[in-house]
Amino acid sequence: MNKLMKRFLYRSVLLTIVLMLAGWGLYAQLIPQYSLPGWPFILIFFFCTTNLVHFYLLRIAEKDIAKFSTHFMALSTLKMLFYLFVALGFFLASRDQAKLFLINFLVAYMAYTVMEVAEISHVVKLKK
């Protein structure tokens, strides 16, 4: 595992722990009536998909940085469609908790996306 992937893995573990603790603090202490039992699974889902995608993007960046932007855009589109299908699947399966799930899903999506874009920007700067 290269240095950039270790850095990303460390940061994604840290982000997951922070989001887990924030969710626990929010749902267990402040608003238990809005607790979503699936919050840890949402975090695990985003942790796994984000790390897999980042690993693939790092491999592309090492081989050919000129093709990187094309792969990045294609993979981002596919990932977004996958996330949409997962959210839609949960929405159709459990309409009673759909609003709460979508809010939590979007919070996790935004947090992991911001981290991923920041790290990819760092990688691109290093490769130029």
- Position 55 scores a pLDDT of 93
Three-state secondary structure readout of 74-124: HHHHHHHHHHHHHHHHHHHHCHHHHHHHHHHHHHHHHHHHHHHHHHHHHHH
Q: Is 128 helix (H, G, I), strand (E, B) or coil?
A: coil
CA distances from 52 to 38, 91, 125 (A): 21, 25, 21
54 near 119, Cβ under 8 Å? yes
What pLDDT, in 10s, does the model give residues 72-100? 899 999 999 999 999 999 888 888 888 89
CA distances from 116 to 29, 35, 48, 73, 106 (A): 30, 27, 12, 13, 15
Q: How confident is the model at residue 1 (pLDDT cuts 50, 70, 90)?
A: low
- Position 98 scores a pLDDT of 86
